[in-house]
Amino acid sequence: MPTVTIDGVAVEVEKGQTILDAARKLGIWIPTLCYHPAVAQPATCRLCMVELDRGGWKQLVTSCNYPVRQDIEVSVTSERAVAARRGVMELTLARAPENEQLQALARRMGVEGTPLPMVSTAQRDCILCGLCTAVCEEVIGRAAIGFAGRGMDRAVASPFRQPAEDCIACGACAAICPVGTIQIRIHEDTDEIEISPFKTRAKLQRCTECGARVVSLPVTEEVLRSANIDWEKYREHARLCPACRRRQAAGAIAAGSTGTRQQE
Ligand code: SF4
Ligand code: FES
């Protein structure tokens, strides 16, 4: 196994693991924004830069997607690496200067605000990290959103900036967005979930026992389909919230029944 030495501390990692993996193994913090283990690394934010010592020369590399194949030496704390990350943070802040998550991360990096003017109003607070489009495509298997526009107008959007037919309103994009640009709104009056800013809406499924909101109807259908479960057969069971489902299963066991799944 190759050894990664970070600021003098060595750790072995599996071949192909990244410098970021090595740092985390050592408990060394490197700031990240576009890193998420659920998706292939887009490496768009550049916030995780470290200085790699190549013997004769040193090079800045993004730690989240730099695979370790041989013994290497790295510095997270070198003047050059710290300055590079702070510079990137100032640029990133210029896209979303009021964003609280970003400000908190900046403070942790020792960056207090940005001297740069705000560079975009294309989509409030979006830092173009690409995590939302990646999770939609790689994990959910859809392509309901993508990048649109150029330069300062570049933003994540649904096709033609209209509600996307492909969207099942699962909310994965909102969950993964590191700066809270994508929001889930519940419309009490129509019993709908909305993924904002994409304007996509879907009916919410309510638990048939207690009435609690569960997930959007398209999500339930998608999950059952992908798991090869007969939607018609399990329709009622699937429409229970987790608590009612557990109660029903416990009742079935107490009554000597083997439970819905095994009754098949
Ligand atoms: S909406 Fe959020 S997750 Fe998507 S690119 Fe912008 S900042 Fe990243
Ligand atoms: S976390 Fe590495 S480039 Fe964004």
User: Over the stretch 16-75, which tens digit does the pLDDT of each residue have?
Assistant: 999 999 999 999 999 999 999 999 988 999 999 999 998 889 999 999 999 999 999 999
Model confidence at 139: pLDDT above 60: yes
Specify whether the CB–CB gap between 153 and 120 falls below 8 A: yes
Specify whether the CB–CB gap between 163 and 116 falls below 8 A: no
Specify whether the CB–CB gap between 155 and 123 falls below 8 A: yes
pLDDT score at 261: 45
C-alpha to C-alpha distance for 108 and 33, rounded to whole angstroms? 13
Instruction: For the chain, give the mean pLDDT.
Output: 88
| 96: amino acid identity, one letter | A
Specify whether the CB–CB gap between 33 and 92 falls below 8 A: yes
Cis amide bond preceding 115, omega within 30: no
pLDDT score at 233: 63
- 220 Cβ below 6 A of ligand 2: no
Helix (H, G, I), strand (E, B) or coil at 41: coil
pLDDT score at 118: 78
CA atoms within 13 A on the CB side of 141: 5
User: Over the stretch 179-231, which tens digit does the pLDDT of each residue have?
Assistant: 999 999 989 899 899 999 998 999 888 888 888 877 787 887 777 677 666 65
What is the whole-number distance in angstroms between the Cα of residue 91 and the centre of ligand 1? Answer: 16
C-alpha to C-alpha distance for 25 and 180, rounded to whole angstroms? 28
User: Over the stretch 142-170, which tens digit does the pLDDT of each residue have?
Assistant: 999 999 988 778 889 998 888 888 899 98
pLDDT score at 154: 86
Task: At 156, list the tokens.
Answer: 């994540």
Q: Which ligand number lies closest to the CA of residue 95?
A: 1
At 99, the pLDDT band (50, 70, 90 cuts) reads very high
What is the whole-number distance in angstroms between the Cα of residue 132 and the centre of ligand 1? Answer: 6
Q: Which ligand number lies closest to the CA of residue 136?
A: 1
Q: Give the position, in ligand 1's atom list, of the atom nearest the Cα of 33.
A: 8
